[in-house]
Amino acid sequence: MAGDAFEIRVRGHVLMADQPQSAGGKDTAPTPVELFVAAMASCTAHYAGRLLDRDGLSRDGLSVRAGFRMADDRPARVAALALTVRAPSLPPERPAALRAVVAHCTVANTLARATEVELDVSCGDGEAISAPGPGPAGR
């Protein structure tokens, strides 16, 4: 890949990431932050779909809209996520159950708790330099 565009390979799948033209990229793919927000939205949708399946309800029309706000200060990070789950088949007495389930999707659980980050960096000679990452929750 060239410039700010990158391929991400996961279990045989290939995802792309880039930056918008205004940030020096070519806007050929979502940004890493947009992929992060998409991970939260897709995890939420997965858990919502499982609840609908469990309750024998249709997934037709199930959707999750996601937005985010970047922090105004440093370090650069997402300060807030906003998710809207639409489940047309959900009975009016069940929104609390849906909220409880999707609030604990794996990505949401990860964000709610400190996460260890280990960072290995390879030098020009290919030798990996192992260093502790920024620590729990980016500290």
pLDDT tens-place string over residues 41-88: 999 999 999 999 999 999 999 999 999 999 999 999 999 999 999 999
Residue 30, pLDDT above cutoff 70: yes
Mean residue pLDDT across the chain: 92
pLDDT band at residue 134, thresholds of 50, 70 and 90? low
Residue 137, pLDDT above cutoff 60: no
What are the chain's domains? 31-138 (3.30.300.20)
Length of the chain equals: 139
Give Cα separations from 22 to 79, 96, 98, 138 (angstroms): 21, 41, 38, 27
Prediction pTM value: 0.85
Tokens of 27: 């806007």
* Residue range 109-127: mean pLDDT, rounded: 88
